[in-house]
Structure formats: C-alpha cells, structure tokens
Structure 1
Amino acid sequence: MATAQNRLSTGNKVNSALDNPSNWFTAKGLTNRSGDLNALMDSMANGIQTLKAADNGLSAMTKTLESMQSTLRQARQDKSFNTESLPLAKIDANDPALGKLTLSGGAVGTPLDIDLIKTAKGDSKVATSSYAAPLPAAKASYKADSGMAALTGAEAAAAVNLSLKFGDGPVLPINIASSPGRTTTELRDEIQAIVDASPDYAGKIAFKQGAPGAYSFETIDTIDGEFVIGGTSHDRIFGDSAGPTQFPLSVTGSNGSHDFTINGTKIKVDTTTGADLDTAIASINSQLGEQRSFEAYREPGGKLALRAIVDDAGSLQIGGADAKMFGTPTNGIVAGTNGDLTFARSVDDLVTVINTHASLQGKVRASNDKGKLRLENQSTQDLTIGGKNSTTGKLDGTTGTSTVKGNAVRTGLADQFNELRDQLDKLADDASFNGINLLRGDKLAVTFNETGTSSIDIQTENGDTINSANLGVPTSLEPKQLDSDVTIDQLLADMKIALNQVRSQASTFGSNLSIVQNRQDFTKAMIDTLENGAGNLTLADMNEEAANLLALQTRQQLSSNSLSLASQADQSVLQLLR
C-alpha cells in the first residue's frame, strides 16, 4: 500500500534507480536532453524577436526610401522656373565689349558672354573715314591764301586772267584788263564785283585783302566747298616766283562744319559736336535716330567709321559735301569696301544661340516672348543677367544687371529629401532588440541543438551597416543638384539601387526568420517527444495504481473486520464461561 501511495503521489512508477535501473537512467537521459533543448528555446525566441525588429526597421526604411523617390520624382516633374523677358535695344557699336549678354550664377556659374551682335558676309559695305581722331579742326575760314609778299602797284595795274570754281558751282572766269595806276585795293574791288555778279557765288565767296596786296578767297558764313583756282595770273596773285607748283591749285574751304548724308539722312558735325571722335560718334548716331540701320563707331587706330547694326541694313551710301572724308566718290555717292558686317542679333537669333550653346543646355532656356528675349532660369540658384540697361530695362550690352530667382519648389524638395534621409539613419539605429541591432552590422548567433553542432549566424551582407551612406544615398542633397533633370534621373537610379538593397536584405532576414521559426517548432516537438518517452519509462498508470491501492485498502479493511469478528466471538465464549 505504501508503494502504491508513493506512485500515486509522485506519478512515477520509477522514482529511483532502485525501482528500475534501466528505465530510470534511460528516462533521465531523455529528460536531460529535453531540458537542454528547452533552454535553447529562449535563445530561439529572442532570435525571432531580433529578426522581427530588424524587419520592422527595414520595412520602415523601405517606406522612407519610397518617399525619397517620390520627392525626387516631384522635383523631376516640377517646371516652375522663374523667367525674365527683356526687350532688345539698338546695340551700341561703340561699346568696347561690342554688346554682351552675360549670364552668371544659377547653374551657369562662371560668367558666360553671349554676343548681342554677329558678323556675316553681305552686300552691305563698311566705310571708314580717312580722318583719324580727333576730327580735323573745323575752321571758319579755311582759305586759298596768297603765298607771297603784297603785290606792287605795277603788278596790280597789269591784266588779270583767273578762273574760280567753288564746290559744285560752275567755273567763273575773272578777266580784267590792265589799268595804269590801279591800286591793289581797286584790284580787290574789281575782282569782288565779278564774283558778286555771279548768281552762283554772290553771297558765298569773298575776295579779301589782308596786308596791302595780299589776297585770299574765303567762304561766307556757313557756305562750304572746295576752291579750284586757275588761270595764268594765279602764280602772280597767289603764288611766288617759284611758280604754281609751290602752292596747290585746289584748297578746301570750310564753314566750320562737316556735312554729309548717310543713306539720305543729313548729318552735320561742327566745331562743338565734332571736337573729338567720341563726341562726333555720339552726335552722328543721335542724328541717325533710334531706328538706325547703320551706326558710327571707333575703328581700330582711332578713325571714324560706319557699319551695319541690323542684318537687313542694305547698302551703305554716303553723300553730301564732305562725303569724301569716307572715301572716293562715285557719281556723288560714297560707299565703303565690301567686308564683314557686324549687326545686332534678332530675338530669334539669340534664342537659337542660347538654346544650342553646350554650356547652357539644361541651365538656361531662351524663347521669343512677343518680340522680347525670355530667359528661363532652370536652376534652384539665382541667375544674374548682365548687359541690361538699368534705366530703360532693355538689353543693350551695358553694365546693368538683373536677377532671376531660382526654383523655390525644387529647393524645398531638397530640404524634404534631407529630412527623410536623416530619418532613414535613425530608423536603422533604433531597430535593435535585447542589445542586438542587425541593421548596424551586429551578428545574431542562434544554436539549434544541445551539442551546438546545429546553429545559424545571422548578419547583414559583409557585416555592413544599413544606412544612407552604404546605400549610396547622398549625405546632404544640395538644391543645385536638382537643377538638372539628368542629375535627378541619376539620383532616382541610385535610390532604386538603395531600395533594391533594402528589399534584398529584408528578404534575407525573412528567410532567416523562417529558418529559426521552423527550428523552434521542431525543437518544441522534440521536447514533447523526449518528455513523452521519458514518461513512458517512469510514469505510473494512475488508474492501475488507484485500483491497486483501493484493493489493498479493501483487503486491509476486510482483514480488520475479520479480526474484529474473531475477537467478538472470543468475547462471547468468555461470557458464556462466566
């Protein structure tokens, strides 16, 4: 009964090696192995949670990378670039830079010049003045002057044979018969009377006497032209004993101004407006007007010259009294020699030049905005436009500048990208469990059996940390990196690679998690098997033992009852004997 009660209280039929050595030691081995495996279950459970923590981090990083991709795609699609439209002005041919549109800052960086003029071959002509700067001083009386001592009375009394031609006027014969006793003053008056009698020269030419017997033909007031003096008496009145070769027969007179025409427009430069070359150039261009096709400029060497400044200028024709200063007259018209023409670019010309310029593609885009040059700053940085007139606002190659603001939308998207990148690294840092962070390159070792011969080491590829740097994400995205669509496309490609790396690592960890979970389930089953096996060897059949105890208790009770009955019988016999 004691044995039965012990079996029922312990549940084992083998409680020590004394009970059944074979079963005892066999069950003990099975139980020990089960205990060892059960101890590994905690390690497996921790490993599973560590993998789940890493997977949580990778899932969050995947969403963050997808958000960063979306930010870049939004920047790629955004075209809210700022622009400025500039009207073109007539290009000042005297600008030493010959009219430049300068672009700097933005995506351009170092200043880049675009000529506002171009050079081409054509039928138009360029004329250069034969006069170097400054222009010849205009004289009020540039005269044919006597070059000898004053005539004597006898020379004045002799016959006179002269011819006078001035400018485009006819030849005027001056023939005076000899007159005994005629004085030099009387001779002057007689010649003047002949001049005044000519309808072509009356009021234009004066025959003057300086010192007694010294004569000169001079212009009157604003009359301009050229004197041509001939006749057999010229050497006597205007020459000397050396003969007529000592002094020219043709001397240009001046009224103090230079008068000519440029393609029919009258031009006048006097002692004030022609005092120097720069003043003369400004005066000529002012007289030609704002819509001029030709312009005066300073030729290398300091000469006054004329050139085309529009591509449809046509032929250059110079006429008028002083046209000869620009060349040799032909039928009253003067034109320069054929050569390269410099003229202003049209808006369409500039659009073509800017849009085909290799250094500006993807940085600045030009278009024709109703006759104005429209410049689009394809950058997040401010673009500076040089060559704008600060007063008129027109593009004329002067020193004024203006600023076209950068793309604020792309700048803001760059800031968003950087914030997301920072969160990417923080997610990697926070994905730890029980002190192990697989995303930082920590190694997780999980043992599967009691001998340590079956295990798995879980770690990122090459033990690298999964962060923005190792994924190839820019450490700090600058707004200027979003200037170019090509650069954005490259960033998107890099983000795709980074996303694939994260997804690949998540897949690897997922496979590892499946392995550990399978081994956990397998180990649980093995523990049950071992414990059941040990129990089969040592556990008691409670039904059997309970029935056995009950039988023993019944037997004991029956024995007691029998003894009690026997004792009562004996007592009855003793009572009878009394």
Structure 2
Amino acid sequence: MADVNLSKAVRSNLLSLQSTASSMAKTQERLATGLKVNSALDNPTNFFTAASLNSRASDMASLLDSMSNGIKTIEAADNGLSSITKTVESMQSTLRQARQDKSFKTTSYAVDSTTIGTSSVKTLSFEGGAVGSSPVSINLNTTSSAATPATVAGSVAVADDTALQAFAGQTLTLTSGTNTTSFAITNTSTKAELETALSSAGFTAAFDSGTNELGITRADGANFTGSGAAATSLGVATTSTDGVAAVTGAVKTVDALVTEINGNSSLKDKIRASNDNGKLRIENLSTESLEVTGVGSDGEVDGTAGTSEIGGNEVRKNLAKQFNELRDQLDKLADDASFNGINLLRGDKLKLTFNETGTSTIDIQAKDSDGDATSINNTSLGITSVQDSDLDSDASIDAKLGKLGDALGTLRSQSSAFGSNLSIVQNRQDFTKNMINTLETGAANLTLADTNEEAANLLALQTRQQLSSTALSMASQADQAVLRLF
C-alpha cells in the first residue's frame, strides 16, 4: 500500500489528539484507582517507599491480634483474682463470726461432800473437748500427806534377759483391788519389756542393781498380790503389807475448785469454771464434747467413776464447715480463670511481641515475693483447711485470720502486678495502632491521587480534546480545498 502523506497541520493536530487521549487515560486511571502512583513506572521512589511502609504496617497489624488476646488473658486472670479476693474476704468474715460467738455449752454440778468424804483422795477429771485424750484431774480433797508405796521384793536373781527367759511359758499376774495385769514370759522377753508392761497398769518393776532381784512397787499405796507360776518362780507370790494410803483433809469448797481449775495450765482456755449459786459450773470452751469423770448418776460431783458429758459449740463447728467449703471454691476459681488455653493463675507464662522484628517483648507470669514463678492457690497462699478444734480458742482463730490477711496482701500485690502488665500491653496496643495509621498515611501521601485535581485535569483534557478535534477537522477541510479545482 502506498504511503499516505498528511499535511503538517493535520499531522500536528493528530499528535495533539493522541497526547490528549494518553493524558486522559492516565487521569482516568488515577480517578479509578485513587492512586497517582500505580506502578514503579509512575514514580519508582514513591512506589517502593510506599510499599515498604505498607509492608511494615501490615506486619504490625498482625501483632494486634496477639495483643488483643493477651489483654483478654490478663483480664481473665484479674477476674479470677477479684473472685478469689472476695472468697478470702468471706473466709475472714466466717472466722470473725466464729470468734464473736460465745455460745459454749455449760453444765452446773452440785458437790456431794458426803460421798467424797475425807478418807481417801477423790478426783474430778476432764477428757475430750479441747483438753484432748489425756485426762486432767483435779483433787476434790485437800491432801495432807502422800501415800507410802507398797512393795514386794523377789528372791530370785535375774542377772540379764537370758535369765528372765529361763522362765518362758510362765505368767506373772499382779492384782491390786480390781486392777489386774499379767505378763507372759517368752523365750524372747526382756527385763525392759516387763518393766514397761507393769508400769502401764500402775506398777513399777525394777531390778536391783546389786542383787538383780525383781522388785515391784505400787506408788499409790494400795496393797497388791503376786500370783501365777512366774510369781512363784521369781519369789513375788506374796501380798504387800507396807502400803499406806494418802491421808486427806476436808472436801474442797466450790470456790476453791473454781480457783484450782481456772489456774491449771493444762485446762487454761480449754474449760472455764465458775460458782453458780453454790454449784460448780463447767463451761466447755470447745467444739467437741467434753467428758467429766467423777460425777454420780444423780448429776452431782462425788469423785466416783461416773461420767457426764458437756456438748461442744455447734455454731463454731458449722462455721468451720463453711470455711472449708469456701476454701474449696478458691482453687476452683483459679482453675477456671483461663483464656485461650493460658491460665496465669496456674503459673502459665504469657509472652507478647510488640514489634515486627521481635526485639520488643514482655513475659507475663504470676510471681512470688522472691520473683520466682508461682501459681495462685490455697497452698501458695498458705490457707489450710480447718478442723473443728481449730476454732476452739480465740487465739487459734486470730492466727488463722493472720494467715488470711497475708493471703489478701499476696492477692493484692499480684493483682497490682497484672494491672501494671495490662497497662503496658494496652499502651503498646494504642501505640501500634497509631504507628500503623502513621505508616499507612505516609504511604498514602506518596501514592494517593488528589481526586479534585485529577477531575479538573480530566475536564481540561476533555476541552482540549474537543478543541483538537475541531482543529483537526479544520485542517482536513483546508486539504479538501484542492477538490474545488476540479
């Protein structure tokens, strides 16, 4: 095909139209995308700088999710601490209520002076309650002289355990009134075992260091008889005759008994005695029942083997149960204070990263006063369960209250530490959001188009295009003027 030659005017107007069309296309692209830099060809420096800023903003945005989860984990731990604190405060309230309660059971006994008499020592003993399993006795008489021990000396020398074992198969029996004890000698018996067995029944067995003969003594002065094959073999099958019982004075008055009971160190803060219109009033300062021995079937103190029971403080006993129920809930609250599998109250560690390079982090974990990792539970707080007897005395309750006070201090300290950690994470979260906004705004400033400016440019280009089209049309008409010659 032959080349077509255009006139200078047509060619000039055509190039102008092409340039205007190209500018319009670029302007329309900027309006459509909102960016003045759509590729590296538009502005390499701005394009790559904006890409770097947006990339960093994206990396930091990915950290916000972990920060948000971290905040919720700390909030879950704080919720647990708040509930545990309220539980410990309830436990304090329970103990204070127990301390204020004084509904201890009491019983008043008349003193039967006639039955007590003055011929022998009679006692009033207390067992159980806060006193314990070892009875504590109080003499009902004023003793003027001690008893003379009753003794029986054997006539057979027993130099060592082997000599004693020579009587294997024989039994030594000792009887003092209604008190009887027996010791069966075997081929493995020892002198020490014989001494222990007899002493548990009120007898004292001793081997003379010079003659090695067996001597038996009863310190209360009651006469006794030795019987059995071994008694005959050892030469103690006789009746003691030198025992003299203690000589006693008058029966103590109620006031004297009150003074002696309240002054006894083994009974102090365990029972309390008082004079109730001439009767001996005993108050059981315990949650457990107290057994009083030396009370007759008629309910009067007479020094006999009869017993009477004084009930325990039921209010304090029930409060001990309430305390333990609250204590059980404390550990359950700590177990449930987890979020997304992390429980700070159980010693788990929460690690949060604050920047895209991983050089800024924080480790959040419950710690003790020494800075070592710990968990929050009854054991770490030093809160132990209570027995009914723990609420017997005010001093014991005060000690428990002291432990709870220390536990509250630990809880508040840990709550403060978590609060500080939460503040740090929230501040970093806000900082990260602001940094993301700064980075994205900076990137936008480098690449975003001014839509007002681009719209004005498009309007100008459209006007120029119309003018160029008109100019091209006029130039074409000038070329057609030659046709008029034909």
Q: Please, what TM-score do these two structures have when normalized by structure 2?
A: 0.70
Among 432, 456, 460, which residue is 1:547 paired with?
456
CA distance 1:76–1:301, shift in 2 (3 Å): closer
Q: Give the superposition deviation at 1:119.
A: 2.5
Whole-Å separation in 1 of the counterparts to 2:425 and 2:249: 83
Among 317, 324, 338, which residue is 1:418 paired with?
324
Give secondary structure in 1 for the equivalent of 2:379: coil
Among 420, 441, 447, which residue is 1:511 paired with?
420
Give secondary structure in 2 for the equivalent of 1:463: coil
Q: Which amino acid is the alignment partner of residue 82 of structure 1?
A: K
Q: Which runs of 5+ in 1 are unaligned?
A: 122-298, 303-338
Partner in structure 2 of residue 49 of structure 1: 72
1:408 aligns with 2:314: yes
Among 140, 150, 174, which residue is 1:116 paired with?
140
Contact 2:126/2:135, CA 8 A, preserved across alignment: yes
Q: Which amino acid is the alignment partner of residue 347 of structure 1?
A: V
Among 22, 34, 39, which residue is 2:57 paired with?
34
Partner in structure 2 of residue 450 of structure 1: 356
Give secondary structure in 2 for the equivalent of 1:516: helix
Deviation sequence 1:239-264 (CA, Å, 0-9, x none): xxxxxxxxxxxxxxxxxxxxxxxxxx
Deviation sequence 1:481-526 (CA, Å, 0-9, x none): 1011111110000000001000100000000000111111111111
1:464-479 counterparts in 2 under 5 A? Answer: 464-474=374-384, 476-479=385-388
Q: Which runs of 5+ in 2 are unaligned?
A: 1-23, 146-219, 224-245
Contact 2:116/2:140, CA 8 A, preserved across alignment: no
Partner in structure 1 of residue 431 of structure 2: 522
Whole-Å separation in 2 of the counterparts to 1:489 and 1:340: 46
Q: Which amino acid is the alignment partner of residue 523 of structure 1?
A: T
Whole-Å separation in 2 of the counterparts to 1:72 and 1:97: 47
CA distance 1:30–1:551, shift in 2 (3 Å): same
Partner in structure 1 of residue 107 of structure 2: 84
Give secondary structure in 2 for the equivalent of 1:469: helix
Contact 1:91/1:397, CA 8 A, preserved across alignment: no
Partner in structure 1 of residue 392 of structure 2: 483
Partner in structure 2 of residue 501 of structure 1: 410
Whole-Å separation in 2 of the counterparts to 1:117 and 1:87: 15
Whole-Å separation in 1 of the counterparts to 2:125 and 2:308: 10
Partner in structure 1 of residue 345 of structure 2: 439
Whole-Å separation in 2 of the counterparts to 1:13 and 1:97: 120
Deviation sequence 1:371-416 (CA, Å, 0-9, x none): 10110011000111111111x2210011111111100000110111
Contact 1:92/1:99, CA 8 A, preserved across alignment: no
Deviation sequence 1:201-233 (CA, Å, 0-9, x none): xxxxxxxxxxxxxxxxxxxxxxxxxxxxxxxxx
Contact 1:431/1:439, CA 8 A, preserved across alignment: yes
1:2-13 counterparts in 2 under 5 A? Answer: 2-13=25-36
Q: Give the superposition deviation at 1:98.
A: 2.0
Give secondary structure in 2 for the equivalent of 1:381: coil
Q: Which amino acid is the alignment partner of residue 36 of structure 1?
A: D
Q: Which amino acid is the alignment partner of residue 455 of structure 1?
A: T
CA distance 1:400–1:451, shift in 2 (3 Å): same
Whole-Å separation in 2 of the counterparts to 1:372 and 1:408: 25
Whole-Å separation in 2 of the counterparts to 1:50 and 1:536: 38
Whole-Å separation in 2 of the counterparts to 1:561 and 1:86: 134
Contact 1:84/1:404, CA 8 A, preserved across alignment: yes
Among 285, 290, 314, which residue is 1:378 paired with?
285
Larger Cα-atom Rg: 1
Q: Give the superposition deviation at 1:4.
A: 1.1
Whole-Å separation in 2 of the counterparts to 1:414 and 1:97: 44
Deviation sequence 1:447-483 (CA, Å, 0-9, x none): 1111111110000102211001110001x21111101
Contact 2:124/2:137, CA 8 A, preserved across alignment: yes
Higher helix share: 2
Query: Structure 1 vs Structure 2: percent identity of aligned residues?
Result: 62
Whole-Å separation in 2 of the counterparts to 1:101 and 1:558: 132
Q: Which amino acid is the alignment partner of residue 383 of structure 1?
A: L
Partner in structure 1 of residue 304 of structure 2: 398
Q: Give the superposition deviation at 1:28.
A: 1.3
Give secondary structure in 2 for the equivalent of 1:27: helix
Deviation sequence 1:71-100 (CA, Å, 0-9, x none): 111111110000000000015457997211
1:15 aligns with 2:31: no
1:428 aligns with 2:428: no
Q: Which moved more, 1:491-500 or 1:461-470?
A: 461-470
Whole-Å separation in 2 of the counterparts to 1:300 and 1:549: 132
Q: Which runs of 4+ in 1 moved over 4 A?
A: 93-97, 299-302, 561-574
Partner in structure 2 of residue 460 of structure 1: 366
1:52-131 counterparts in 2 under 5 A? Answer: 52-90=75-113, 92=115, 98-109=121-132, 110-119=134-143
Q: Give the superposition deviation at 1:15.
A: 1.6
1:201-212 counterparts in 2 under 5 A? Answer: none
Whole-Å separation in 1 of the counterparts to 2:120 and 2:412: 59
Contact 1:82/1:377, CA 8 A, preserved across alignment: yes
Q: Give the superposition deviation at 1:571.
A: 9.3
Whole-Å separation in 1 of the counterparts to 2:80 and 2:128: 42
Give secondary structure in 1 for the equivalent of 2:308: strand
CA distance 1:300–1:504, shift in 2 (3 Å): closer
CA distance 1:342–1:77, shift in 2 (3 Å): same
Whole-Å separation in 2 of the counterparts to 1:445 and 1:33: 21
